[in-house]
């Protein structure tokens, strides 16, 4: 009877672990879905970060169409739109940030130029996950 009890306990533990892993994956999927569209303020990287290593491990390039986001997975593609002008740019998430309260995405200089925000430094945007 002891062997049967251990087998039942092991099977129950396995079921709990599998269920927990599935719930965790589901929760992560929901978190990404919650981020599918965000509205807020965009900024762009200072020139002093050119060549610095991003959180994804690749060197930062002001001329690439890339961006930093606090939580979207690296490699995610997003469409960044300025509702006030209709300008938009597609960027690849390869870094973490921005680290300034109230900002939702930090763009490369090239991406910021495509949105017409170089002179003002920040702009209201809508970020839409494309993946």
The SS3 call for residue 100 is coil
Going by the DSSP 8-state scheme, the letter that residue 59 receives in this structure is B
Of 5-9, 24-28, 58-62, least confident by mean pLDDT is 24-28
Structure tokens at 96: 């973490």
CA angle at 69 for the pair 63 and 71, rounded to the nearest 5°: 150
Given a cut of 70, whether residue 18 has pLDDT beyond it is: no
Using pLDDT thresholds of 50, 70 and 90, give the confidence band for residue 38. very high
Confidence of residue 8 (pLDDT cuts 50, 70, 90): low
Distance separating alpha carbons of residues 89 and 78, to the nearest angstrom:
8
| Cβ neighbours of residue 60 closer than 8 Å, sequence gap 6 or more | 45, 49, 50, 51, 52, 53, 54, 66, 95, 108
Q: 90 near 78, Cβ under 8 Å?
A: yes
For domain 37-129, the question of CATH label 2.40.40.10 is answered with yes
Which three-class secondary structure state does DSSP give residue 54?
coil
Match 């930062």 to its residue by tokens.
60
């Amino acid at each position: 009877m002891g062997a049967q009890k251990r087998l039942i306990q092991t099977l129950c533990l396995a079921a709990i672990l599998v269920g927990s892993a599935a719930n965790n994956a589901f929760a992560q999927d929901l978190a990404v879905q919650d981020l599918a569209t965000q509205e807020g303020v965009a900024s762009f990287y200072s020139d002093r970060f050119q060549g610095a290593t991003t959180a994804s491990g690749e060197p930062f390039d002001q001329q690439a169409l890339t961006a930093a986001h606090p939580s979207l997975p690296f490699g995610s593609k997003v469409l960044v739109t300025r509702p006030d002008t209709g300008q938009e740019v597609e960027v690849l998430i390869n870094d973490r940030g921005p680290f300034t309260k109230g900002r939702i995405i930090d763009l490369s200089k090239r991406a910021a130029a495509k949105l017409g925000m170089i002179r003002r430094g920040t702009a209201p945007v809508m970020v839409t996950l494309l993946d």
